[in-house]
Structure 1
Amino acid sequence: MAAYILKRLALMLPTLFGVLFLTFVVVQFVPGGPVEQYLAEAKAGKGTSAEGGLSYRGSQGVDPKRIEQAKALYGFDKPAPERFWRMLQQFARFDLGTSFFQNRAVSQLIWEKLPVSMSLGLWTFFLSYLVAVPLGVAKAVRAGSRFDFVTTLLILVGYAIPGFVLGVALLVVFGGQLQWFPLRGLVSSNWEQMAWGARIVDYLWHIAMPVTAMVLGSFAVTAMLTKNAFLEEIRKQYVVTARAKGLSEQRVLWKHVMRNALIPIVTGFPAAFIGAFFTGSLLIETLFSLDGLGLLSYESVIRRDYPVVMGTLFLFTLIGLVTKLISDLCYVWVDPRVRFD
């Protein structure tokens, strides 16, 4: 296994390089970069703050020297290969760079936005598994029954409804007409002045609608995967043999079938769990005014904040590659018959 892990770690480097290289090349051909946005703001009389070292002349245009200063500030005065090489050296030190427009470290921005995305991701993850796995088992045991038909219909309907559409409906009905839940934010404005019990209640009160909008469609795949995995195992010979030996149906189901049926679910558990920390739903965060990673990524792309785009891409790709390795290693832990050679 050690040789396999070392081989996979070695393969991560060209994969990570390829992702960064392709993205960097695409970025070079995207119009409206940071310098162009600065010029547009300067011509509109908005300009850039003096803190960045750039001055402007309002409607009279921009001094060519200031344009060169802007290019030097953003690093565009150097050839693209040199900028790419410097970026790789920077990422090798796990330095994600500094935002062009917020003048703050990208790692600091991610750290600040992370709690919002973690709140959405973790609640969605745990509720999805807590609902999907027992529901999938119940559907497999009662396959073909009215319960199976009705729950399948509800799951497919929920899966077909986009999360942001459900979010709009929840906002209109429960946030607007009934006013049962707040319309925006993760907590109330006076949250820090509340007692701990009131803080928890206030937090759950705010997170209820966005999590509901994300959970409804997310657990459909897990529920159907659990059902199909259990149905496949129930039909195998060892289950028939266990029943013939006089074992109870509960013992056969939970001790023998469960161990084998949950292999595809458990092996995907690490990726889903780690992904929950860094999952940012742009539409849900925008709809409920939640300032998370999804909104940060969207705004960085729109504003051409390339350090944020490339820094977050590097971090999330690296986490994804490591998580994929952990998921593959879980196959050995769950099923000792698997051999990597």
Structure 2
Amino acid sequence: MWAYILKRLLLMIPTLFGILLITFVVIQFVPGGPVEQMVAQLQGRDTGGEGAAVAGAGYRGRQGVDAQRIEEIRQLYGFDKPAHERFFQMLGQFARFDLGQSFFHHKAVWELIKEKLPVSISLGLWTFFLSYSISIPLGIAKAVRAGTRFDTVTSLIVLVGYAIPGFVLGVALLVIFGGQLQWFPLRGLTSSNWHELSLGAKIVDYLWHITLPVTASVLGAFAVTTMLTKNAFLEEIRKQYVLTARAKGLTERRVLWKHVFRNALIPIVTGFPAAFIGAFFAGSLLIETLFSLDGLGLLSYESVMRRDYPVVLGTLYLFTLIGLVTKLISDLCYVWVDPRVKFD
């Protein structure tokens, strides 16, 4: 197993390199970079991140800004160096876990991530625990009652929920419960006077704000886990050892929870690490943007729109590394749950 772990760790290096290289190359051809945006600001106009360079003629907004000033701006953002030199300089920083400095926030990327992480963790924890605490019992109930009306109706409900994108549901929730009925706030994680509230009032205010974003995030996560749980239990229930346990006179409850439960949960438990980390870093971009939650998803969106390349590449490097490590942990969980699994 140690040889397998070492091999996977070594494979992470070319994977990270390839992802960063492709992203860096794409960035070189994206118009409206930080230099062009700064030139537009000096001219008293805003490009909105959509400026473009004219081949062979410098920047399109160059009129009114002398060449020396443009060269100073290029040096300020490090664009006076060749692309390959900037790329390997970035790799050297990432190897030291130095994610660089934001162009527009004027803060270290690490500091920005630390500021935004609590919001994403809050949304991710609620999404993860609610989806699993409902999906697993529901999947077991569906397996035990397979083919009944309960199974059919619940399958229809979870599949309809899965078919509705989270951001579409979020828009509907905002319009109905936030706009028309005004039962819930339209934006933010807490009220503006949150620090002045008592402890109980703070908890109520937080839950009041988080209800709509969590609902939009959770609904689509039910279907996969529910159906996976149901199918895993059905497969185990039909095996010979279950028939043997029933023939020995064991109660259906004991057969289900003592014999079937452990084996059926193997594919679900091994997916815990990826689902847990994914709840923080995946799928939150649209929800955070829609509900104006100042988390990592909104930070990534704003960084792409403003061409804040250190934040884009720094967060990409960090999230990719976390994803690769999480995938390795998920694979190792197979051995932890079922010792019969061998990597060779």
- Give the TM-score normalised by the residue count of structure 1: 0.93
Deviates more, 1:29-38 or 1:62-71: 29-38
Q: Is this contact kept in 2: 1:117–1:292, CA < 8 A?
A: yes
Deviates more, 1:80-89 or 1:28-37: 28-37
Residue type at the aligned position of 2:28: Q
Indicate whether 1:261 and 2:287 are aligned: no
After TM superposition, give the deviation of residue 145 of structure 1 in Å.
0.2
The 1:63–1:29 alpha-carbon spacing in structure 2 relative to 1, beyond 3 Å, is: same
Residue type at the aligned position of 1:150: V
After TM superposition, give the deviation of residue 201 of structure 1 in Å.
1.0
Cα-to-partner distance string for 1:250-292 (whole Å, 9 max, x where unaligned): 1111111111111111001011112223345222212212111
Structure 2 portions without partners, runs of 5+: 48-60
Structure 1 portions without partners, runs of 5+: 48-57
**Aligned positions, number:** 331
After TM superposition, give the deviation of residue 171 of structure 1 in Å.
1.7
Q: Is this contact kept in 1: 2:116–2:296, CA < 8 A?
A: yes
The 1:28–1:46 alpha-carbon spacing in structure 2 relative to 1, beyond 3 Å, is: closer
- Give the TM-score normalised by the residue count of structure 2: 0.93
Q: Is this contact kept in 1: 2:138–2:226, CA < 8 A?
A: yes
Q: Is this contact kept in 1: 2:37–2:46, CA < 8 A?
A: no
Instruction: Provide the secondary structure at the position in 2 that maps to 1:243.
Output: helix
User: 1:223-302 residue pairs with structure 2 within 5 A?
Assistant: 223-279=226-282, 281-302=284-305
Q: Distance in 1 between matches of 2:206 and 2:293?
A: 13
Q: Distance in 1 between matches of 2:185 and 2:221?
A: 23
2:23 — aligned with what? 23
Indicate whether 1:139 and 2:133 are aligned: no
1:304 counterpart (302, 307, 324)? 307
1:53 — aligned with what? none
Paired-residue identity, %: 80
1:2 — aligned with what? 2
Q: Distance in 2 between matches of 1:226 and 1:88?
A: 42
2:225 — aligned with what? 222
Residue type at the aligned position of 1:326: I
Residue type at the aligned position of 1:23: T
Q: Distance in 2 between matches of 1:108 and 1:280?
A: 22
1:38 — aligned with what? 38
Instruction: Provide the secondary structure at the position in 2 that maps to 1:284.
Output: helix
Residue type at the aligned position of 2:305: I
After TM superposition, give the deviation of residue 4 of structure 1 in Å.
1.7
Indicate whether 1:95 and 2:85 are aligned: no
After TM superposition, give the deviation of residue 45 of structure 1 in Å.
4.8
- Once superposed, what is the RMSD of the aligned Cα atoms? 1.6
2:53 — aligned with what? none
The 1:45–1:33 alpha-carbon spacing in structure 2 relative to 1, beyond 3 Å, is: closer
Q: Is this contact kept in 1: 2:167–2:286, CA < 8 A?
A: yes
The 1:158–1:33 alpha-carbon spacing in structure 2 relative to 1, beyond 3 Å, is: same
Q: Distance in 1 between matches of 2:12 and 2:297?
A: 25
2:55 — aligned with what? none
Instruction: Provide the secondary structure at the position in 2 that maps to 1:304.
Output: coil
Q: Distance in 2 between matches of 1:104 and 1:176?
A: 36
1:338 counterpart (328, 332, 341)? 341
1:192 — aligned with what? 195
Cα-to-partner distance string for 1:196-248 (whole Å, 9 max, x where unaligned): 11111110011011101111111111001101111111111111111111111
Cα-to-partner distance string for 1:12-43 (whole Å, 9 max, x where unaligned): 11111111111111111212211122222223
Instruction: Provide the secondary structure at the position in 2 that maps to 1:21.
Output: helix
Q: Is this contact kept in 1: 2:128–2:275, CA < 8 A?
A: yes
Q: Distance in 1 between matches of 2:262 and 2:174?
A: 41
Q: Is this contact kept in 2: 1:122–1:276, CA < 8 A?
A: yes
Q: Distance in 1 between matches of 2:238 and 2:45?
A: 73
Q: Is this contact kept in 2: 1:118–1:279, CA < 8 A?
A: no
Residue type at the aligned position of 2:168: V
Q: Distance in 1 between matches of 2:259 and 2:71?
A: 70
Deviates more, 1:99-108 or 1:161-170: 161-170
Q: Is this contact kept in 1: 2:188–2:291, CA < 8 A?
A: yes
The 1:60–1:328 alpha-carbon spacing in structure 2 relative to 1, beyond 3 Å, is: closer
Q: Distance in 2 between matches of 1:176 and 1:129?
A: 30
User: 1:20-169 residue pairs with structure 2 within 5 A?
Assistant: 20-45=20-45, 61-169=64-172
After TM superposition, give the deviation of residue 123 of structure 1 in Å.
0.4
Instruction: Provide the secondary structure at the position in 2 that maps to 1:319.
Output: helix
